[in-house]
Amino acid sequence: MAYIPLADQDEDLHDHPHSFITKYVWSQDHKVIAIQYGSTAIAVGLVGLVLSLLMRLQLGYPDSFAFIDPADYYQFVTMHGMIMVVYLLTALFLGGFGNYLIPLQIGARDMVFPFLNMLSYWFFLLSCIILMASFFVPGGPTGAGWTLYPPQSITGGTPGSEGGIVLMLASLAVFIIAFTMGGLNYVTTVLQARTRGMTLMRMPLSVWGIFVATILGLFAFPALFVASVMMFFDKMIGTSFFLPAIVSLGESLDHTGGSPVLFQHLFWFFGHPEVYIVALPAFGLVSDVLSCHARKNIFGYRMMVWAIIAIGGLSFIVWAHHMYVSGMNPYFGFFFAFTTLIIAVPTAIKVYNWVLTLWEGNIRLTVPMLFACGFIFTFIHGGLTGIFLGNVTVDLPLSDSYFVIAHFHMVMGVSPVLVLYAAIYHWFPKATGKMFNVTMGKIHFWATFFGTYAIYLPMHYIGLLGVPRRYYAIGTTDFIPESAQALNANITLAAIWVALFQVVFLVNIIWSLWKGKKSDPNPWEATTLEWFTHEHPPGHGNWGPELPTVYRWAYEYSVPGVKQDFVPQNMPAEEVETEDGSPYKGHDE
């Protein structure tokens, strides 16, 4: 029973695919799976984008669009939310970037269990198909709001309470199974398959963010799974987990004694970590992009790692700050407000460190860097409003208003999406071997960055006026001035503007893939392992005959006395040329 660590095993243990089908369709290669995950997520995300435009059309110009009735509107809201949070962001960050970057950045040939990894993608695709199928069942998709709160999500009168909600719950359950299969791979690969010299404290922050986020997912998605199963039974076989005795549409239903608040607890026990499942990979990826394009080491690497871990731990004990108005015991609010404000500390540390990384850096304003800097702005704005909403007394009047919408779109909509763009532009040359069009990338950034502010800044104000969220139309009320409607129309125009410029991104990506200039193997002069693969773009098995050896951390930029302004992680100290010829000793060698 001689047991050998993965990094020391021979390469011939891996099977090489030969046919087109095993190479690109039923592929077990983490890079192909990453692209499959990524493109599926983006495709589903485009549906979410179109749904948001339909919502905005209705909100900006009520009574103008006959094809959007109130039921449609609620269905758009619901599907937009669920698609963006779960099927776009979670899948793209973890299934896409997690799959692509983990083995490459830690120096592994693949995930530890490639077959399970492949299944993970196909289950994810199945969950997307089930979700999309709900558009075509009688009654349409569920319109219960993305939080799916019972009783209204499964009682009559709510759009989609016939078939839509059932398909939504089924789709979520399949997604969770898919995520578990992928997530087990990501975590185990980070723990057990690192190459020689790659200690945990030398891992790029991208891997740290994805790693901790995956652990959060593995522990948080079970709550959503259980909630889905219980609601499924309530809907299909008449159990009363979440339904108390209730009168619906003038009829008293056959339920008694259930607890609607139980669903909210289960949902947010998943839902709050979910925020960080999306945010932590974004934190990690943006750290690497900022450090590389500022030609400066990340400020406070160890602190950044511990902040990721601390945020991950704390995210499990803040969930009820989503429930201050739910009717739970008010004393809970005291505890959850306290933990919520504590989580601001490690988060603020990270923001300071990003800014300090830029400080006196040799900043190259490349397209990924623009998006990364944009993220710092939007994240600070979204984070600050979070402090308002985390306090019970401030939250009560703001709850369920457009202020909340503005807050969470800034902090977990716009910010992670900006990081996704930064990361896609940053790793596009590595994944495809082609360079994207820089001018189009810059147009994409400036239009998106200013456009999102044009959307969400006015929403804060509308929320402070007291305009409630999820309403089909504001109508006329005493406390809402007519100017609010004018703002709403402007927001809609800004949303259309932003959406149009996402087409620039898609065109850029597709055109560059087809006709783009060939890229350098390391166009950004980055230090991490994926830029030093045997082939470019990396082939099956990633590394050729020999795994790389790592000598230092990932942030050796602009080292005083060294000729080149970056030292790759896998370059032996003897090979590093110094200006005066003296021997070189790196950060943690």
Nearer to other proteins, 84 or 166 (CB): 166
CB of 229 to other proteins, least distance (A): 7
Q: Helix 415-432 crosses helix 30-60 at what angle (to 10 degrees)?
A: 140
- C-alpha 260/C-alpha 218 separation (Å) is 25
Question: Residue written as tokens 């669920």?
Answer: 82
Q: Which residue has the tokens 């998006």?
A: 371
Is 198 a binding residue for other proteins by CB under 8 A? The answer is yes
User: Which range touches other proteins (CB under 8 A), out of 49-57, 231-239, 387-395, 416-424?
Assistant: 231-239
Please work out the total of residues on this chain that contact other proteins, with binding judged by CB under 8 A. Answer: 57
Q: Residue 184 interacts with other proteins (CB under 8 A)?
A: yes
Kindly tell me which residue out of 239, 391, 564, 578 binds other proteins, with binding defined by CB under 8 A. Answer: 239
In whole angstroms, the minimum distance from the beta carbon of 240 to other proteins comes to: 6
CA distance 334 to 450: 37
d(CA 249, CA 569): 66
Q: What is the 3-state secondary structure (H, E, C) of 192-255?
A: HCCCCCCCHHHCCHHHHHHHHHHHHHHHHHHHHHHHHHHHHHHHHCCCCCCCCCCEECCEECCC
Minimum gap (Å) between residue 300 Cβ and other proteins: 17
Interface pick for other proteins out of 26, 61, 65, 113 (rule CB under 8 A): 113
- Applying CB under 8 A, does 424 fall inside the site for other proteins? no
Binding to other proteins (CB under 8 A) within 268-297 occurs at 269
Using the rule CB under 8 A, which residue among 39, 192, 477, 483 binds other proteins? 192
What is the separation of C-alpha 402 from the centre of its chain, rounded to a whole number of angstroms? 22
Residue 102, interface with other proteins (CB under 8 A)? Answer: no
- C-alpha 226/C-alpha 270 separation (Å) is 10
In 237-300, which ranges are continuous DSSP H helix?
260-293
- For the bound state, the minimum distance from the C-beta of residue 181 to other proteins, rounded and expressed in Å, comes to 10
Among 65, 122, 135, 233, interactor with other proteins by CB under 8 A? 233
Residue 259 makes contact with other proteins by CB under 8 A = yes
Using rule CB under 8 A, residue 258 touches other proteins = yes
Asked if 196 touches other proteins (CB under 8 A), the answer is yes
Cis peptide leading into residue 537 (ω within 30°):
yes
200 is an interface residue for other proteins by CB under 8 A: yes
According to DSSP H, which parts of 19-113 are helical?
A: 20, 30-60, 70-82, 99-106
DSSP three-state, residue 562: strand
Q: Minimum distance between the CB of residue 290 and other proteins, rounded to whole angstroms?
A: 24
Give every CB contact of residue 483 below 8 A, 6+ residues apart in sequence: none
Interaction between residue 187 and other proteins (CB under 8 A): yes
What does the binding site for other proteins look like in residue numbers (CB under 8 A)?
A: 1-3, 5-8, 112-113, 180, 183-185, 187-189, 191-202, 218-223, 225-227, 229-230, 233, 237-241, 244-245, 254, 256-259, 262, 265-266, 269, 550
